Copies of this chain bind each other. A is one copy, B any other.
Amino acid sequence: MAIKTKATEAPALPLNDILSGDCIEVMRGLPDASIDLIFADPPYNLQLKGELHRPDNSKVDAVDDHWDQFSSFAAYDKFTREWLAEARRLLKPNGAIWVIGSYHNIFRVGASMQDAGFWLLNDVVWRKSNPMPNFRGKRFTNAHETMIWASKSEGSRYTFNYDALKALNEGTQMRSDWLLPLCTGHERLKDANGDKAHPTQKPESLLHRVLIGSTNPGDVVLDPFFGTGTTGAVAKMLGRNFIGIEREEAYRKVAAKRIARVRTLDASALETAGSKRAEPRIPFGHLVERGLLRPGEVLVSPRGTTAKIRADGTLAGDSVAGSIHQVGAAYEKAPSCNGWTYWHFRRDGKTIPIDSLRQQIRAEMNN
């Protein structure tokens, strides 16, 4: 028989679970100062009028879901203040929050965050490499969304894995603008009819960078607008604990099934660059972030030696760890080594140089 929790004890934290219900009410049932990081993708409050057609007359499948409807700015502000207040209560003193939005809502959200006592650290722009164009030629292509990163309070000693992010970014410090593609193709979850399961599914590459940069393994990450569970899937893969809150049963089911398939990376893949590591000169980390190579995957050299990919784009080899170049040089007992041509990965029985993936990304980035 379970021991009854005394009223004075904090309620237990339901780790790695998807909680059902309205996020404000559910958060009220969670204990103070228990969460390391919150990632929130709240409704954007889009105010679409009629239908929109492409030049070829096909209809744009817009976000017209009931959960995105608010009667006024005042109603949206009230909702925002309420969930932000609970979110802030749940954060540990050194906890932090990320909130994503578009120009429809992000200014109201950002002002409410400042009013609630959050301390803004950066706004980060997600630049979409493949945004939907503006079909009528009346405005600029809406090619980005904005994320606000804030600590619980002005004095918080928030987590920021500066060197891991620097390693992900060619050895120069990570900027406030991130170029990443939309969630499309096989990553985009489909329902039974083959339609998109959720209208606003975020790419895993975005959450990868957020979680690598502002959490450590074992941290507790809360997503109060869980949707199809991108936050949970990436958190599980990276060895973080997650708590999801989602109102719609259909989304919860899709998310649970998705997360069940995710395997947590083993400890060696989760090690990230220490602060004294030398700078890699090549953005090998982008291949990992983008899912072209998996953390934990093994690379092979021309002589058959191997090394394992870690989540921040460094390699762990036999008694040596570091950039693709450093591990290659160590294996060859050479002063230097071009890791791009030295290392290969396996696909469908073939051995392919990792440089082919770099070229693939470069082609996309040039656009």
* Residues of chain A whose beta carbon lies under 8 Å from any beta carbon of chain B: 53, 57, 73, 102-104, 106-111, 113-115, 120-125, 127, 131, 133-134, 137-144, 146, 148-149, 160, 162, 165, 173-177, 332, 334-337
Contacts and interface: CB of A to CB of B under 8 A. Distances in A.
14 contacts: A53-B336, A104-B120, A106-B123, A107-B111, A108-B114, A110-B110, A110-B111, A125-B144, A139-B160, A140-B175, A140-B176, A141-B174, A142-B176, A146-B146
Given A140-B124, A143-B175, A175-B141, A148 B103 contact: yes
B173 A137 contact: yes
Contacts of A114: 73, 107-108
Tell me if A's interface is mostly helix, strand, loop or mixed.
Answer: mixed
B140 A335 contact: no
Given A107-B114, A137-B160, 18 more contacts: A57-B335, A73-B114, A104-B120, A106-B123, A121-B139, A122-B142, A125-B127, A133-B173, A138-B162, A140-B149, A140-B173, A141-B173, A141-B174, A142-B176, A143-B176, A144-B175, A144-B177, A177-B177
A144 B139 CA distance: 21
A138 B111 contact: no
Nearest to A157: B138
Of A106, A107, A138, A146, chain B has the most CB atoms within 10 Å of the CB of A107
A176 B111 CA distance: 22
Of A109, A121, A134, chain B has the most CB atoms within 10 Å of the CB of A134
